[in-house]
Amino acid sequence: MGRLDNKIAVITGAATGIGKATAEVFAREGARVICADLKEDEMKKTVEQIKQNGGEAEAVELDVSSQDRVMEFADHLKEKYGKIDILFNNAGVDEQGGKVHEYPVELFDRIIAVDLRGTFLVSKYLIPLMLENGGSIINNASMSGSAADLDRSGYNAAKGGIINFTRAMAIDYARSGIRVNSLSPGTIETPLVDNLVGDRQEDMGEKFREANKWITPLGRLGRPDEMAKVALFLASDDSSYVTGEDIKADGGIMAYTWPGKMLIEQDEWKKDTE
């Protein structure tokens, strides 16, 4: 018996990274997974892998920032399945934009459109498919929604909005049997991080990982499968009395106020991560 047997789960941004890992975990736990993403080729690979492992999955091309496309997606789900049980609003983009006075308006608008507005649109049009039977919604936020980053104010605004939007949704739908929580990952080894700072083969990418390695109390970046397991907890009945919460899975970064002694005794602190 799987923890999600007979459940229908929708995951946006399911082609790579956290979304891909979560689709695989949900399928292993018995859910039929609808993978929605703009990266059609990679998404199809995710679905094929799930099917090869004995799971059930479907790929649907979706731009979460388009109201028309999201409405069409909701109609497709209603016609084919009649309901859904789990929604993981995972789709998101990020890019450094500079200080606020330098920040490109079009970049700010794009991040808000995909990360925050996309979460709103998908929730708005898919929640009616959960009202009769209840379910679980997980919104992918970030530790960057609770604290700020240099040169990334658009991302900070979007993810901070998602965290509080999650609380609003939780209140709105608690009496309908729909639980709503957000997942706030730390720095995770995903293509998004590669695009933001470079992969391990690039100098800046390696420097970024080394910096995160010692500033993160657990001494490493997170893995997509670790985030998928947190999402599984929130999707399953194991979290039946949890709603309106932001669950941080960040290796301990948000546990301290400033890295004072870690900076002062940098060499000694870093030894523990090697």
Q: Does residue 207 fall inside a structural domain?
A: no
User: What pLDDT band is residue 267 in, cutting at 50, 70 and 90?
Assistant: confident
pLDDT at 193 over 80: no
Which residue in the list 155, 173, 241, 256 is annotated as catalytic?
155
Torsion, Cα 153 156 158 162, to 10 degrees, reads -160
CATH label of the domain that carries residue 231: 3.40.50.720
- Total tally of structural domains belonging to the chain: 1
Q: Does residue 66 fall inside a structural domain?
A: yes
Q: Does residue 239 fall inside a structural domain?
A: yes
Range of the domain at 177: 8-189+223-253
User: Is 155 assigned a catalytic role?
Assistant: yes
pTM: 0.94
Q: Does residue 211 fall inside a structural domain?
A: no
> What is the per-residue pLDDT across 214-225, written as a single tens digit (0 to 9) for each?
889 998 899 999
Tokens of 8: 């229908």
Phi-psi region of 184 (alpha: psi -120 to 50; beta: other; left: phi over 0): beta
Q: Does residue 202 fall inside a structural domain?
A: no
Q: Does residue 152 fall inside a structural domain?
A: yes
